[in-house]
Structure 1
Amino acid sequence: MRVLVTGANGFVGRALVQRLLSEGVACAGDVSQLLLVDQAFYNAPEHARVSFLAGDFGAPRTLDSLLSEPVDIVFHLASVPGAQAEADHALGDRVNLYATLALFERLAQQAQAHSRVPRVVFASSVAVYGAPLPPLMDEHTLPKPTASYGVHKLVGEQLLSDWTRRGKLDGRSLRLPGIVARPGLSAGHGSAFMSAIFRAAQLGQRYTCPVSPSASAWWMSRPCCVDNLLHAARLSADGLHAQRVWTPPVLHLEVKRIVDALAVRFGSARVDYSPDDRIERLFGRQPPLMDRRAVEAGFQHDGTVDSLIARALSDD
């Protein structure tokens, strides 16, 4: 099968590409060609089955090249992250909205021309829920985005759901939390502190955390995220609920619980706290979350806090 990954050089994209090359989608070797697109590539895997394209994934010329032949599965990961999308509305709209619409439209045209409906896994975000959040969250919690990024992701979900309803795409959207542990701070990610805690402990460095020790957040490691993306691609279309949107299970943990576990693993974790009300309001007051449809569909979290830490740092 031919598989396309947008945002393939990103933090999650690089790990997904490695898994696709080693494990395939349903079984090892079932990916005959892996098409990767991102703004730029570094340390990219050299493999006979891999093709790279640096550029805007929604540009007509890029889409012409990527979709010169039909694709079977698309993992749409590319986006401008939250803080950056809020600071530069034009850029966020261009990438997260218009380019996503262009990609979905071209994939739908493929289905029309070749009678071959591509399966599309869309990396949405818990940002669709906005803030403040209700005391408990489940599959019935309505999205109420309060930032541009959340709006972008919700629109992407709706577009994909509509193309799926019309029989042109086979869509699946996952509302993902902040994924840990990114290798460095990113000005584009408001949840960057979640990874910074891990990295500071790992390096024996002092870190000033912008949320309080009692702040509660949703945690998922990069390997677990990739597990869930691949699981979404493997799900049979039979019996899936109409919207095709899931919020995968997460570990709901206070920051202090993470810091204490890191201290045990590394001997110490030198974390000071200087809470920023805006960051804590958006990323540190997350309630218990249980999307029963996601559990029933087979999506999973990391298991325990120790497993989360081990997995988050396992693929450095």
Structure 2
Amino acid sequence: MATKVLVIGACGQIGTELTMRLREIYGGEQVIASDIREGSEEIMASGPFESLDAMNKSQIEDVCLHYQVNEVYLMAAMLSATGEKFPKKAWSLNMDSLMHVLDLAKEGKIDKLFWPSSIAVFGPTTPKHDTPQHTIMEPTTVYGISKQTGERWCEYYHQKYGVDVRSMRYPGLISWKTLPGGGTTDYAIDIFHKAVAGENYNCFLSENTELPMMYMEDAVRATVEIMRAPSEEIIERSSYNLSGMSFTPQDIANEINKHVPDFSISYEPDFRQQIADSWPSSIDDAPARKDWNWKHEYGLDQMVTEMLSHLK
């Protein structure tokens, strides 16, 4: 049976690039983009688009049945910084949307499901360096609490009902194609826009805040690879640790200075500093590398070079 994919939240930061990659692989007509609002011209023109509310199960089911969808990527979510402003809304969106697609899979209406978790599942009591796959998780944000709960539901549905659900914990993601979506790691995108515009960047995190990060190209590739791996290779059914690089705002500013000597950065930490302080500074993703051969390709220097060349 041909792969027929539905991407929910296709117009978001990850969803946009993931949808285009899936259309390259499976063909434009095989990948249905959906979101609560219309997306970029590229998304709208390259294949089917459905206006869809991720919190409405019957809408999701109708689209799945209409297009005979067998794989769903659920990318709709309210991120960390925005979630702190609207905690109940964030909880409802992040949890209800997941339960809807897990139930559709349990009912046999879809075969395979991808749902992203995040490093936000970790908290201040988690080991900070080389955070292991299995460790203490006491998240302090609504986003983190919803992602941790989601991981437990994913594993439960796999064990109880045999649902083929796959997940990984994204670090901070950096892309030149889409604007930031309200996350704590968004400074690492904003900084490039300011550098290219010849402006000083005032960072909302302190200079030595080290966080796990990944270039979007690696994140999209990891997402496709975990979904294409044979089912028996996917051992972790909660979510896999995923790692690319770790750096501080000062590290990235220094790297930008090699290309843009006049660029300067200043620091004015806000409420997002507390969120960042609760997260790990580096991630051990050995299980992902062993189970389905994950390998990252981008380090800090390659990423900075790519970001600046594309944004210029």
- Contact 2:242/2:283 (CA < 8 Å) preserved in 1? no
Structure 1 residues 242 and 127: alpha-carbon distance in aligned structure 2, compared to 1, 3 A threshold: closer
Quote the offset at 1:49 in angstroms. Answer: 7.5
Matching residue of 1:114: none
Does residue 197 of the first structure (1) align with residue 191 of the second (2)?
Answer: yes
Unaligned runs of 5+ in 1: 112-116
Quote the offset at 1:93 in angstroms. Answer: 2.3
Counterpart-to-counterpart distance in 1, 2:8 and 2:120 = 20
Structure 1 residues 189 and 135: alpha-carbon distance in aligned structure 2, compared to 1, 3 A threshold: closer
Aligned partner of residue 53 in structure 1, secondary structure: strand
Unaligned runs of 5+ in 2: none
Summarize deviations over 1:140-179 as a string: whole Å, max 9, x none.
2232211111111112222222222234421111101221
Q: 1:129 aligns with which of 118, 122, 134?
A: 122
Counterpart-to-counterpart distance in 2, 1:314 and 1:228 = 23
Q: 2:206 aligns with which of 204, 212, 218?
A: 212
Summarize deviations over 1:185-221 as a string: whole Å, max 9, x none.
55x3232222112221122111111222222111111
Q: 1:22 aligns with which of 21, 24, 28?
A: 24
Counterpart-to-counterpart distance in 2, 1:67 and 1:241 = 27
Summarize deviations over 1:58-116 as a string: whole Å, max 9, x none.
313412321215422211111111222222223112211122212221232135xxxxx
Q: 1:269 aligns with which of 263, 269, 272?
A: 263
Q: 1:107 aligns with which of 105, 108, 112?
A: 105
Aligned partner of residue 7 in structure 2, secondary structure: strand
Structure 1 residues 185 and 163: alpha-carbon distance in aligned structure 2, compared to 1, 3 A threshold: closer
Quote the offset at 1:23 in angstroms. Answer: 2.7
Written as runs of structure 1 = structure 2, the 5 A alignment for 1:136-215 is 136=129, 137-181=131-175, 183-184=178-179, 186=181, 188-215=182-209
Matching residue of 1:60: 57
Q: 1:33 aligns with which of 25, 30, 42?
A: 30
Counterpart-to-counterpart distance in 2, 1:300 and 1:167 = 31
Amino acid at match of 1:93: W
Counterpart-to-counterpart distance in 2, 1:203 and 1:103 = 42
Question: C-alpha root-mean-square deviation of aligned residues, in Å?
Answer: 2.4
- Contact 2:128/2:281 (CA < 8 Å) preserved in 1? yes
Amino acid at match of 2:115: F
Residues matched between the structures, number: 304
Amino acid at match of 2:276: F
Structure 1 residues 93 and 254: alpha-carbon distance in aligned structure 2, compared to 1, 3 A threshold: closer
Quote the offset at 1:121 in angstroms. Answer: 1.4
Higher percent of residues as helix: 2
Quote the offset at 1:263 in angstroms. Answer: 1.3
Amino acid at match of 2:159: R
Amino acid at match of 2:268: S
Q: 2:295 aligns with which of 300, 307, 312?
A: 300
Quote the offset at 1:287 in angstroms. Answer: 2.6
Counterpart-to-counterpart distance in 1, 2:44 and 2:221 = 22
Counterpart-to-counterpart distance in 1, 2:104 and 2:214 = 32
- Contact 2:70/2:111 (CA < 8 Å) preserved in 1? yes
- Contact 2:125/2:138 (CA < 8 Å) preserved in 1? no
- Contact 2:200/2:265 (CA < 8 Å) preserved in 1? yes
Does residue 45 of the first structure (1) align with residue 42 of the second (2)?
Answer: yes
Amino acid at match of 2:78: V
Aligned partner of residue 50 in structure 1, secondary structure: coil
Counterpart-to-counterpart distance in 1, 2:268 and 2:248 = 16
- Contact 2:125/2:136 (CA < 8 Å) preserved in 1? no
Counterpart-to-counterpart distance in 2, 1:40 and 1:298 = 36
Aligned partner of residue 208 in structure 1, secondary structure: strand
Q: Normalization by structure 2: what TM-score?
A: 0.87
